Chain A
Protein backbone atom coordinates (compact mmCIF):
# COMPACT_ATOMS: atom_id res chain seq x y z
CA UNK A 1 0.00 0.00 0.00
CA UNK A 2 3.02 2.30 0.08
CA UNK A 3 2.73 3.14 -3.63
CA UNK A 4 -0.88 4.25 -3.06
CA UNK A 5 0.23 6.36 -0.09
CA UNK A 6 2.99 8.07 -2.11
CA UNK A 7 0.48 8.78 -4.89
CA UNK A 8 -2.06 10.28 -2.44
CA UNK A 9 0.60 12.37 -0.70
CA UNK A 10 1.78 13.75 -4.07
CA UNK A 11 -1.82 14.45 -5.07
CA UNK A 12 -2.40 16.39 -1.82
CA UNK A 13 0.78 18.43 -2.31
CA UNK A 14 -0.16 19.21 -5.92
CA UNK A 15 -3.68 20.21 -4.79
CA UNK A 16 -2.38 22.67 -2.21
CA UNK A 17 0.29 23.92 -4.63
CA UNK A 18 -2.11 24.59 -7.51
CA UNK A 19 -4.67 26.15 -5.13
CA UNK A 20 -2.07 28.55 -3.71
CA UNK A 21 -0.81 29.39 -7.21
CA UNK A 22 -4.35 30.06 -8.41
CA UNK A 23 -5.10 32.43 -5.52
CA UNK A 24 -1.72 34.10 -4.98
CA UNK A 25 -0.58 34.46 -8.62
CA UNK A 26 -0.20 37.97 -10.05
CA UNK A 27 -1.06 37.07 -13.64
CA UNK A 28 -4.82 36.53 -14.04
CA UNK A 29 -4.51 34.12 -16.97
CA UNK A 30 -1.97 31.97 -15.10
CA UNK A 31 -4.36 31.89 -12.13
CA UNK A 32 -7.12 30.55 -14.41
CA UNK A 33 -4.76 27.90 -15.80
CA UNK A 34 -3.90 26.84 -12.24
CA UNK A 35 -7.59 26.81 -11.28
CA UNK A 36 -8.42 24.43 -14.16
CA UNK A 37 -5.49 22.18 -13.21
CA UNK A 38 -6.70 22.28 -9.61
CA UNK A 39 -10.17 21.18 -10.78
CA UNK A 40 -8.73 18.19 -12.67
CA UNK A 41 -6.68 17.21 -9.59
CA UNK A 42 -9.76 17.53 -7.34
CA UNK A 43 -11.55 15.19 -9.76
CA UNK A 44 -8.67 12.75 -9.36
CA UNK A 45 -8.89 13.08 -5.56
CA UNK A 46 -12.63 12.24 -5.64
CA UNK A 47 -11.77 9.24 -7.79
CA UNK A 48 -9.25 8.10 -5.15
CA UNK A 49 -12.02 8.43 -2.54
CA UNK A 50 -14.26 6.21 -4.65
CA UNK A 51 -16.76 8.99 -5.44
CA UNK A 52 -16.86 8.55 -9.22
CA UNK A 53 -20.07 10.60 -9.65
CA UNK A 54 -18.52 13.60 -7.91
CA UNK A 55 -15.26 13.13 -9.85
CA UNK A 56 -17.18 13.24 -13.16
CA UNK A 57 -19.11 16.35 -12.12
CA UNK A 58 -15.97 18.08 -10.86
CA UNK A 59 -14.00 17.38 -14.04
CA UNK A 60 -16.88 18.42 -16.32
CA UNK A 61 -18.28 21.43 -14.46
CA UNK A 62 -15.60 22.45 -11.93
CA UNK A 63 -12.64 22.26 -14.28
CA UNK A 64 -14.08 22.28 -17.82
CA UNK A 65 -17.08 24.58 -17.82
CA UNK A 66 -15.92 26.96 -15.08
CA UNK A 67 -12.56 27.17 -16.88
CA UNK A 68 -14.31 28.21 -20.10
CA UNK A 69 -16.41 30.80 -18.19
CA UNK A 70 -13.29 32.24 -16.52
CA UNK A 71 -11.32 32.43 -19.79
CA UNK A 72 -14.34 34.13 -21.40
CA UNK A 73 -14.44 36.66 -18.57
CA UNK A 74 -10.67 37.18 -18.85
CA UNK A 75 -10.76 37.89 -22.59
CA UNK A 76 -13.66 40.31 -22.07
CA UNK A 77 -11.66 42.12 -19.36
CA UNK A 78 -8.70 42.30 -21.71
CA UNK A 79 -10.83 43.82 -24.46
CA UNK A 80 -12.29 46.43 -22.11
CA UNK A 81 -9.29 47.30 -19.89
CA UNK A 82 -6.41 46.32 -22.17
CA UNK A 83 -4.16 44.83 -19.49
CA UNK A 84 -5.92 41.51 -18.98
CA UNK A 85 -7.71 42.86 -15.96
CA UNK A 86 -4.60 42.72 -13.80
CA UNK A 87 -5.18 45.60 -11.44
CA UNK A 88 -2.02 46.33 -9.45
CA UNK A 89 -3.72 48.95 -7.33
CA UNK A 90 -6.33 46.74 -5.65
CA UNK A 91 -6.89 48.20 -2.18
CA UNK A 92 -5.58 46.25 0.80
CA UNK A 93 -8.79 46.34 2.85
CA UNK A 94 -10.96 44.22 0.47
CA UNK A 95 -8.05 41.79 0.13
CA UNK A 96 -7.81 41.42 3.91
CA UNK A 97 -11.59 41.06 4.21
CA UNK A 98 -11.63 38.32 1.54
CA UNK A 99 -8.75 36.53 3.27
CA UNK A 100 -10.51 36.76 6.67
CA UNK A 101 -13.76 35.32 5.26
CA UNK A 102 -11.91 32.48 3.49
CA UNK A 103 -9.89 31.59 6.59
CA UNK A 104 -13.05 31.63 8.76
CA UNK A 105 -15.00 29.39 6.37
CA UNK A 106 -12.03 26.99 6.04
CA UNK A 107 -11.69 26.88 9.84
CA UNK A 108 -15.41 26.19 10.31
CA UNK A 109 -15.32 23.41 7.69
CA UNK A 110 -12.26 21.88 9.37
CA UNK A 111 -14.05 21.99 12.74
CA UNK A 112 -17.14 20.38 11.21
CA UNK A 113 -15.05 17.55 9.70
CA UNK A 114 -13.16 17.01 12.97
CA UNK A 115 -16.45 16.97 14.93
CA UNK A 116 -17.78 14.04 12.86
CA UNK A 117 -17.87 10.77 14.81
CA UNK A 118 -14.85 8.65 13.81
CA UNK A 119 -15.59 5.27 12.25
CA UNK A 120 -19.36 5.80 12.17
CA UNK A 121 -20.99 4.50 8.97
CA UNK A 122 -23.00 7.72 8.50
CA UNK A 123 -26.10 7.35 6.33
CA UNK A 124 -24.69 4.52 4.20
CA UNK A 125 -26.66 1.67 5.91
CA UNK A 126 -29.89 3.68 5.64
CA UNK A 127 -29.38 4.21 1.89
CA UNK A 128 -28.31 0.60 1.26
CA UNK A 129 -31.32 -0.69 3.18
CA UNK A 130 -33.80 1.36 1.15
CA UNK A 131 -32.03 1.18 -2.23
CA UNK A 132 -34.48 -1.44 -3.56
CA UNK A 133 -37.34 1.04 -3.05
CA UNK A 134 -35.62 3.90 -4.87
CA UNK A 135 -36.07 2.44 -8.35
CA UNK A 136 -32.36 2.75 -9.24
CA UNK A 137 -29.21 0.79 -8.47
CA UNK A 138 -26.76 3.68 -8.12
CA UNK A 139 -26.94 4.88 -4.47
CA UNK A 140 -25.82 8.38 -5.50
CA UNK A 141 -28.71 8.73 -7.97
CA UNK A 142 -31.07 7.25 -5.37
CA UNK A 143 -30.07 9.99 -2.91
CA UNK A 144 -30.00 12.81 -5.49
CA UNK A 145 -33.33 12.06 -7.17
CA UNK A 146 -35.35 10.19 -4.59
CA UNK A 147 -34.25 10.35 -0.93
CA UNK A 148 -32.99 13.95 -1.06
CA UNK A 149 -34.48 15.18 -4.34
CA UNK A 150 -35.12 18.56 -2.71
CA UNK A 151 -31.44 19.56 -3.02
CA UNK A 152 -31.24 18.54 -6.67
CA UNK A 153 -34.42 20.47 -7.49
CA UNK A 154 -32.94 23.56 -5.84
CA UNK A 155 -29.66 23.10 -7.72
CA UNK A 156 -31.40 22.99 -11.09
CA UNK A 157 -33.34 26.14 -10.20
CA UNK A 158 -30.19 27.92 -8.96
CA UNK A 159 -28.62 27.26 -12.36
CA UNK A 160 -31.61 28.88 -14.04
CA UNK A 161 -31.38 31.90 -11.71
CA UNK A 162 -27.68 32.25 -12.59
CA UNK A 163 -28.65 32.55 -16.26
CA UNK A 164 -31.36 35.07 -15.40
CA UNK A 165 -28.67 37.10 -13.61
CA UNK A 166 -26.39 36.98 -16.68
CA UNK A 167 -29.28 37.97 -18.98
CA UNK A 168 -30.15 40.83 -16.62
CA UNK A 169 -26.80 42.43 -17.59
CA UNK A 170 -27.99 42.79 -21.21
CA UNK A 171 -28.10 46.42 -22.41
CA UNK A 172 -31.67 47.42 -23.24
CA UNK A 173 -31.12 47.91 -26.97
CA UNK A 174 -29.63 44.40 -27.36
CA UNK A 175 -32.39 42.57 -25.47
CA UNK A 176 -33.73 39.55 -27.34
CA UNK A 177 -30.72 39.28 -29.66
CA UNK A 178 -28.34 36.42 -30.42
CA UNK A 179 -26.17 35.69 -27.38
CA UNK A 180 -22.40 35.29 -27.56
CA UNK A 181 -19.62 36.61 -29.74
CA UNK A 182 -19.56 36.38 -33.52
CA UNK A 183 -17.50 33.31 -34.49
CA UNK A 184 -14.84 33.45 -37.18
CA UNK A 185 -14.17 29.80 -38.03
CA UNK A 186 -12.99 29.19 -41.60
CA UNK A 187 -15.67 27.11 -43.36
CA UNK A 188 -13.09 24.60 -44.67
CA UNK A 189 -10.83 24.69 -41.59
CA UNK A 190 -10.00 21.98 -39.06
CA UNK A 191 -12.46 23.36 -36.50
CA UNK A 192 -15.33 23.04 -38.99
CA UNK A 193 -14.34 19.41 -39.64
CA UNK A 194 -13.98 18.70 -35.91
CA UNK A 195 -17.34 20.37 -35.27
CA UNK A 196 -18.99 17.95 -37.72
CA UNK A 197 -17.09 14.86 -36.61
CA UNK A 198 -17.51 15.01 -32.84
CA UNK A 199 -21.19 15.91 -32.15
CA UNK A 200 -22.71 12.51 -33.13
CA UNK A 201 -20.32 10.75 -30.74
CA UNK A 202 -20.87 13.40 -28.06
CA UNK A 203 -24.65 12.90 -28.28
CA UNK A 204 -24.32 9.13 -27.87
CA UNK A 205 -21.99 9.56 -24.88
CA UNK A 206 -24.33 12.10 -23.24
CA UNK A 207 -27.41 9.86 -23.61
CA UNK A 208 -25.37 6.93 -22.29
CA UNK A 209 -24.20 8.91 -19.25
CA UNK A 210 -27.81 9.77 -18.25
CA UNK A 211 -29.04 6.23 -18.88
CA UNK A 212 -26.10 4.67 -17.02
CA UNK A 213 -26.68 7.10 -14.14
CA UNK A 214 -29.48 4.95 -12.74
CA UNK A 215 -27.21 1.93 -12.19
CA UNK A 216 -23.65 3.30 -12.43
CA UNK A 217 -21.88 6.64 -11.97
CA UNK A 218 -23.36 9.27 -14.28
CA UNK A 219 -26.38 11.55 -14.32
CA UNK A 220 -28.02 14.72 -15.51
CA UNK A 221 -25.36 17.29 -14.57
CA UNK A 222 -22.48 15.33 -16.14
CA UNK A 223 -24.45 14.52 -19.30
CA UNK A 224 -25.76 18.08 -19.49
CA UNK A 225 -22.21 19.41 -19.51
CA UNK A 226 -21.26 17.02 -22.34
CA UNK A 227 -24.28 18.17 -24.38
CA UNK A 228 -23.47 21.83 -23.68
CA UNK A 229 -19.87 21.24 -24.82
CA UNK A 230 -21.11 19.61 -28.04
CA UNK A 231 -23.38 22.58 -28.76
CA UNK A 232 -20.61 25.11 -27.98
CA UNK A 233 -18.33 23.27 -30.40
CA UNK A 234 -21.01 23.39 -33.12
CA UNK A 235 -21.42 27.14 -32.56
CA UNK A 236 -17.66 27.82 -32.46
CA UNK A 237 -17.15 25.83 -35.66
CA UNK A 238 -19.64 28.15 -37.37
CA UNK A 239 -22.03 25.29 -38.25
CA UNK A 240 -25.02 26.71 -36.35
CA UNK A 241 -25.92 29.94 -34.57
CA UNK A 242 -27.17 30.42 -31.03
CA UNK A 243 -30.95 30.95 -30.97
CA UNK A 244 -32.27 34.42 -30.20
CA UNK A 245 -32.72 35.23 -26.53
CA UNK A 246 -36.36 36.10 -27.26
CA UNK A 247 -37.15 32.64 -28.72
CA UNK A 248 -40.08 31.00 -26.94
CA UNK A 249 -38.75 27.53 -27.77
CA UNK A 250 -35.45 28.38 -26.09
CA UNK A 251 -37.17 29.57 -22.93
CA UNK A 252 -39.30 26.42 -22.90
CA UNK A 253 -36.08 24.35 -23.17
CA UNK A 254 -34.65 26.23 -20.19
CA UNK A 255 -37.56 25.50 -17.86
CA UNK A 256 -38.66 22.01 -18.99
CA UNK A 257 -36.24 20.20 -16.65
CA UNK A 258 -37.08 22.01 -13.41
CA UNK A 259 -40.77 22.02 -14.47
CA UNK A 260 -40.93 18.23 -14.95
CA UNK A 261 -39.08 17.80 -11.64
CA UNK A 262 -41.46 20.15 -9.84
CA UNK A 263 -44.49 18.57 -11.54
CA UNK A 264 -43.52 15.07 -10.39
CA UNK A 265 -42.94 16.51 -6.93
CA UNK A 266 -46.38 18.11 -6.86
CA UNK A 267 -48.09 14.89 -8.02
CA UNK A 268 -46.22 13.19 -5.17
CA UNK A 269 -47.54 15.83 -2.80
CA UNK A 270 -51.10 15.01 -3.89
CA UNK A 271 -50.53 11.34 -3.02
CA UNK A 272 -48.68 11.81 0.25
CA UNK A 273 -45.33 13.57 0.31
CA UNK A 274 -43.79 16.29 -1.88
CA UNK A 275 -41.17 14.73 -4.21
CA UNK A 276 -42.08 11.27 -2.90
CA UNK A 277 -41.88 8.68 -5.70
CA UNK A 278 -44.15 5.58 -5.70
CA UNK A 279 -41.95 2.44 -5.65
CA UNK A 280 -43.55 0.89 -8.78
CA UNK A 281 -42.95 3.91 -11.02
CA UNK A 282 -39.79 5.24 -9.34
CA UNK A 283 -37.36 4.21 -12.09
CA UNK A 284 -39.49 5.57 -14.94
CA UNK A 285 -40.09 8.83 -13.07
CA UNK A 286 -36.41 9.25 -12.17
CA UNK A 287 -35.40 8.66 -15.81
CA UNK A 288 -38.04 11.14 -17.03
CA UNK A 289 -36.74 13.77 -14.59
CA UNK A 290 -33.11 13.01 -15.48
CA UNK A 291 -33.62 13.31 -19.26
CA UNK A 292 -35.63 16.54 -18.95
CA UNK A 293 -33.06 17.94 -16.50
CA UNK A 294 -30.15 16.97 -18.77
CA UNK A 295 -31.70 18.88 -21.66
CA UNK A 296 -32.39 22.01 -19.58
CA UNK A 297 -28.99 21.91 -17.86
CA UNK A 298 -27.26 21.63 -21.25
CA UNK A 299 -29.15 24.63 -22.67
CA UNK A 300 -28.58 26.68 -19.49
CA UNK A 301 -24.84 25.93 -19.32
CA UNK A 302 -24.34 26.68 -23.02
CA UNK A 303 -26.14 30.02 -22.65
CA UNK A 304 -24.14 30.85 -19.51
CA UNK A 305 -20.97 30.48 -21.60
CA UNK A 306 -22.45 32.50 -24.49
CA UNK A 307 -23.34 35.39 -22.16
CA UNK A 308 -25.13 38.55 -23.24
CA UNK A 309 -26.19 39.30 -26.86
CA UNK A 310 -23.73 40.75 -29.34
CA UNK A 311 -24.05 44.13 -31.00
CA UNK A 312 -25.84 44.62 -34.29
CA UNK A 313 -28.20 41.65 -34.41
Chain B
Protein backbone atom coordinates (compact mmCIF):
# COMPACT_ATOMS: atom_id res chain seq x y z
CA UNK B 1 0.00 0.00 0.00
CA UNK B 2 1.54 3.29 -1.04
CA UNK B 3 1.07 6.69 0.57
CA UNK B 4 -1.70 7.85 -1.81
CA UNK B 5 -3.82 4.76 -1.05
CA UNK B 6 -3.29 5.27 2.68
CA UNK B 7 -4.48 8.90 2.38
CA UNK B 8 -7.53 7.76 0.38
CA UNK B 9 -8.53 5.21 3.03
CA UNK B 10 -7.89 7.65 5.88
CA UNK B 11 -9.97 10.51 4.45
CA UNK B 12 -12.79 8.35 3.06
CA UNK B 13 -13.17 6.60 6.42
CA UNK B 14 -13.20 10.00 8.15
CA UNK B 15 -15.86 11.15 5.64
CA UNK B 16 -17.98 8.06 6.30
CA UNK B 17 -17.72 8.79 10.05
CA UNK B 18 -19.27 12.23 9.48
CA UNK B 19 -22.05 10.74 7.33
CA UNK B 20 -22.86 8.15 10.01
CA UNK B 21 -22.75 10.80 12.74
CA UNK B 22 -24.98 13.09 10.64
CA UNK B 23 -27.47 10.27 10.05
CA UNK B 24 -27.55 9.37 13.75
CA UNK B 25 -28.16 13.05 14.53
CA UNK B 26 -30.94 13.22 11.93
CA UNK B 27 -32.68 10.27 13.55
CA UNK B 28 -32.04 11.14 17.21
CA UNK B 29 -32.17 14.94 17.53
CA UNK B 30 -35.41 16.42 18.89
CA UNK B 31 -36.42 19.12 16.37
CA UNK B 32 -35.97 20.36 12.81
CA UNK B 33 -33.20 22.86 13.52
CA UNK B 34 -30.94 20.49 15.44
CA UNK B 35 -31.56 17.81 12.79
CA UNK B 36 -30.57 20.27 10.07
CA UNK B 37 -27.43 21.06 12.03
CA UNK B 38 -26.50 17.35 12.01
CA UNK B 39 -27.41 16.88 8.35
CA UNK B 40 -25.39 19.82 7.01
CA UNK B 41 -22.26 18.57 8.81
CA UNK B 42 -22.58 15.29 6.87
CA UNK B 43 -23.02 17.17 3.59
CA UNK B 44 -20.16 19.63 4.11
CA UNK B 45 -17.48 17.73 5.99
CA UNK B 46 -18.45 14.15 5.09
CA UNK B 47 -18.64 14.74 1.35
CA UNK B 48 -15.64 17.09 1.48
CA UNK B 49 -13.45 14.47 3.17
CA UNK B 50 -14.60 11.71 0.78
CA UNK B 51 -13.94 13.94 -2.26
CA UNK B 52 -10.53 14.85 -0.82
CA UNK B 53 -9.72 11.18 -0.24
CA UNK B 54 -10.80 10.20 -3.77
CA UNK B 55 -8.73 13.06 -5.24
CA UNK B 56 -5.61 10.94 -4.55
CA UNK B 57 -6.96 8.32 -6.99
CA UNK B 58 -7.64 10.74 -9.85
CA UNK B 59 -5.46 10.27 -12.95
CA UNK B 60 -5.05 14.00 -13.66
CA UNK B 61 -5.71 17.48 -12.30
CA UNK B 62 -9.01 17.73 -14.21
CA UNK B 63 -10.43 14.82 -12.26
CA UNK B 64 -9.44 16.54 -9.02
CA UNK B 65 -11.04 19.78 -10.23
CA UNK B 66 -14.28 17.93 -11.08
CA UNK B 67 -14.37 16.38 -7.59
CA UNK B 68 -13.84 19.85 -6.13
CA UNK B 69 -16.67 21.25 -8.23
CA UNK B 70 -19.00 18.42 -7.17
CA UNK B 71 -18.24 19.18 -3.53
CA UNK B 72 -18.63 22.94 -4.01
CA UNK B 73 -22.03 22.55 -5.74
CA UNK B 74 -23.27 20.10 -3.10
CA UNK B 75 -22.21 22.48 -0.31
CA UNK B 76 -23.89 25.43 -2.05
CA UNK B 77 -27.14 23.49 -2.53
CA UNK B 78 -27.07 22.02 0.98
CA UNK B 79 -26.43 25.40 2.61
CA UNK B 80 -29.25 27.04 0.62
CA UNK B 81 -31.74 24.24 1.30
CA UNK B 82 -30.80 24.18 4.99
CA UNK B 83 -31.57 27.93 5.22
CA UNK B 84 -34.92 27.47 3.47
CA UNK B 85 -35.97 24.48 5.59
CA UNK B 86 -34.88 26.26 8.78
CA UNK B 87 -36.93 29.36 7.87
CA UNK B 88 -39.96 27.26 6.96
CA UNK B 89 -39.65 25.38 10.28
CA UNK B 90 -39.39 28.70 12.14
CA UNK B 91 -42.78 29.75 10.76
CA UNK B 92 -44.36 26.59 12.11
CA UNK B 93 -42.87 26.73 15.61
CA UNK B 94 -45.91 28.28 17.41
CA UNK B 95 -48.08 25.62 15.79
CA UNK B 96 -45.85 22.89 17.18
CA UNK B 97 -45.91 24.43 20.67
CA UNK B 98 -49.66 24.18 20.84
CA UNK B 99 -49.43 20.45 20.37
CA UNK B 100 -47.15 20.18 23.36
CA UNK B 101 -43.77 21.44 22.26
CA UNK B 102 -41.44 20.40 19.51
CA UNK B 103 -41.29 16.69 18.97
Q: B84 contacts A191, CB within 8 Å? A: yes
What chain A residues lie within 8 Å of B34 (beta carbons)? none
What chain B residues lie within 8 Å of A116 (beta carbons)? none
Q: Does A181 contact B (CB under 8 A)?
A: no
Give 1 or 0 for each of B76-90: 1 = CB within 8 Å of chain A CB: 110110011000000
Give me 15 A-to-B residue pairs in the complex whose CB atoms sit less than 8 angstroms apart, sorted by A's number. Answer: A189-B83, A190-B79, A190-B80, A190-B83, A190-B84, A191-B80, A191-B83, A191-B84, A193-B80, A194-B76, A194-B77, A194-B80, A197-B76, A198-B76, A201-B73
Complex interface residues of chain A between 158 and 216 (CB less than 8 A to chain B): 189-191, 193-194, 197-198, 201
Interface centre among A190, A193, A197, A198, by most chain B C-beta atoms within 10 angstroms, is A190
Further 12 A-B residue pairs, CB within 8 A, beyond A190-B79, A191-B83, A198-B76: A189-B83, A190-B80, A190-B83, A190-B84, A191-B80, A191-B84, A193-B80, A194-B76, A194-B77, A194-B80, A197-B76, A201-B73
CB within 8 Å of A: which residues of B? 73, 76-77, 79-80, 83-84
What chain A residues lie within 8 Å of B76 (beta carbons)? 194, 197-198
Using C-beta atoms within 8 Å of the partner chain, give the interface range for chain A.
under 10
Number of A-B contacts (CB under 8 A): 15
Per CB-CB distance, the 6 closest pairs between chain A and chain B, nearest first, are A194-B80, A190-B83, A190-B80, A191-B84, A191-B80, A190-B84
What chain A residues lie within 8 Å of B79 (beta carbons)? 190
A90–chain B nearest beta-carbon distance, Å = 27
Judged by DSSP, the binding face of B is helix
Which residue on chain B has the smallest CB distance to residue A237? B80
B54–chain A nearest beta-carbon distance, Å = 16
Give 1 or 0 for each of A250-279: 1 = CB within 8 Å of chain B CB: 000000000000000000000000000000
Which residue on chain A has the smallest CB distance to residue B82? A190
A202–chain B nearest beta-carbon distance, Å = 10
Q: How far is the CA of A191 from the CA of B77 in the complex (A)?
A: 10
Which residue on chain A has the smallest CB distance to residue B80? A194
A195–chain B nearest beta-carbon distance, Å = 9
Q: How far is the CA of A201 from the CA of B76 in the complex (A)?
A: 13
Which residue on chain B has the smallest CB distance to residue A186? B87
What chain B residues lie within 8 Å of A193 (beta carbons)? 80
A33–chain B nearest beta-carbon distance, Å = 13
Q: How far is the CA of A201 from the CA of B73 in the complex (A)?
A: 10
What chain A residues lie within 8 Å of B77 (beta carbons)? 194
Q: How far is the CA of A109 from the CA of B77 in the complex (A)?
A: 39
Q: How far is the CA of A201 from the CA of B79 in the complex (A)?
A: 17
What chain A residues lie within 8 Å of B83 (beta carbons)? 189-191
